[in-house]
């Protein structure tokens, strides 16, 4: 994933440090770089535009509240992914006060496949059939363009677990006749 072009050419790490010092322009730049990515992820999680906009606001509000203790030890998307996921879960809980979703379902919530990005109903259906942990790592790797190490950090689980989940998910995708063609060499 390429970063959107902004007028401020500071690295994300420098922006986080500047935000910690109270630099509002650094926050504005960070927002410009990642608002679209956060919004798209929030839409995938919440499946609702209004909730996604609330999650976008909640995620960046979280960053402001964390200053001056923000520490960027990986890519900004790696840092933001769990923030967006948590904000989406919180937003869904607020929306669904009747308790239609169990606590376990909320805990295991992953961003569902985005049909527009994937371009195939078959692929969408097969991805939707993967277990939550397998689908989440596939989406993080191939839709959000995160490395295995970044996924592991974002989910706070070992890289070996990420590798295993990706391996099993891809094996399932290769075995399904609806998606087998995606893995054939051109």
Residue 175, domain extent: 111-186
pLDDT value of residue 69: 81
DSSP code for 180: G
In a shared domain, residues 125 and 59: no
CATH code at position 54: 1.10.1740.10
pTM: 0.67
In a shared domain, residues 78 and 143: no
Query: Cβ distance 77 to 140 under 8 Å?
Result: no
pLDDT value of residue 37: 92
Instruction: With cut-offs at 50, 70 and 90, classify the pLDDT of residue 104.
Output: very low
- Report which of 134, 136, 144 is spatially closest to residue 165, judged by C-alpha positions: 134
Which helix (H) or strand (E) segment is 50 a member of? helix 49-66
Cβ neighbours of residue 14 closer than 8 Å, sequence gap 6 or more: 26
pLDDT value of residue 151: 92
CATH code at position 126: 1.10.10.10
CA distance 109 to 87: 12
| SS3 of residue 36 by DSSP | helix
Which of residues 185 and 133 earns the better pLDDT score? Answer: 133
pLDDT tops 90 at residue 163: yes
Mean pLDDT of 88-94: 86
pLDDT 10s digits, 9-54: 888 888 889 888 988 888 999 999 999 999 999 998 888 898 999 9
In a shared domain, residues 91 and 26: yes
In a shared domain, residues 149 and 168: yes
Peptide bond into 68 cis (omega under 30): yes
């Amino acid at each position: 994933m390429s970063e959107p072009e902004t007028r401020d050419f500071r690295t994300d790490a420098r922006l986080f440090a500047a935000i910690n010092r109270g630099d509002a322009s650094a926050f504005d730049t960070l927002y410009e770089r990642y608002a679209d990515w956060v919004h798209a992820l929030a839409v995938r999680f919440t499946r609702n535009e209004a909730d996604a906009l609330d999650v976008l606001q909640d995620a960046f509000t979280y960053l402001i509240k964390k200053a001056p203790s923000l520490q960027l030890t990986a890519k900004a998307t790696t840092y933001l992914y769990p923030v967006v996921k948590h904000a989406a879960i919180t937003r869904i809980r607020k929306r669904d006060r009747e308790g239609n979703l169990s606590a376990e379902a909320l805990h295991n919530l992953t961003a569902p496949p985005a049909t527009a990005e994937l371009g195939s109903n078959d692929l969408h259906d097969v991805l939707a059939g993967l277990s939550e942990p397998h689908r989440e790592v596939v989406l993080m790797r191939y839709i959000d363009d995160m490395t295995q190490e970044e996924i592991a950090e974002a989910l706070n689980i070992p890289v070996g677990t990420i590798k295993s989940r990706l391996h099993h998910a891809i094996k399932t995708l290769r075995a399904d006749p609806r998606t087998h063609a995606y893995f054939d060499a051109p």
